[in-house]
Amino acid sequence: MSTVLDEQVPEAMNWSTENCTISRIMEILGDKWTFHVLRELFVGVRRFEDIRSRAGIPRQMLTERLAGLIERGLIRRHPYRLAGQRERSEYRLTTAGLDLYPVLVAMIQWGDQYLPLAAGPPIEPRHRGECGERVTVTMHCEAGHEPAPREVAMLPGPGAERRQ
């Protein structure tokens, strides 16, 4: 026995995705190598050759990713010179780059839950303060509640545009 359903079109279908925040973010972060570069910077690896060798990223790819992250304001060059050598640059996160830290922690948290390794997590975000406990990411509304994912609605904001 089949059930006849009234087709309800989701409200989201009335709104354009032409100026979607996620699309704009993915233009910057939407490939594997960009997050590998950011991972290295988050753990304190700052020099080109160190990033390249640890991340296993091809030289040209790293050059392109670093340039793109600089252009978008997520990292900056910081000059350094080893004795007897030419000046070089290391790379440091800007405020905008550091603000991606919760995204990286959320990815680690998701991966540890849904793609676990038998030996346990290869990296653990830990509080550098006195407690040293594992850091997790949670959602909070501005009133301080912790809604479950199904309790969060994505509604049109002030920049939303109706579909044509």
The pLDDT of residue 64 is above 80 = yes
Helix (H) or strand (E) holding 71: helix 59-71
CATH 1.10.10.10 domain residues, the chain: 18-98
The pLDDT of residue 96 is above 70 = yes
Exposure on the CB side of residue 49, measured as CA atoms within 13 A: 1
Residue 135: name the closest of 92, 164, 104, 156 by CA: 104
The pLDDT of residue 25 is above 90 = yes
Residues near 115 by beta carbon (within 8 Å), at least 6 away in sequence: none
State residue 2's pLDDT score. Answer: 67
Q: How confident is the model at residue 164 (pLDDT cuts 50, 70, 90)?
A: confident
Q: Reply yes or no on domain 18-98 having CATH 3.20.20.70.
A: no
- Average pLDDT of span 22-45: 94
The predicted-structure confidence for 100-131, as pLDDT tens digits, reads as follows 999 999 999 999 999 999 999 999 999 998 89
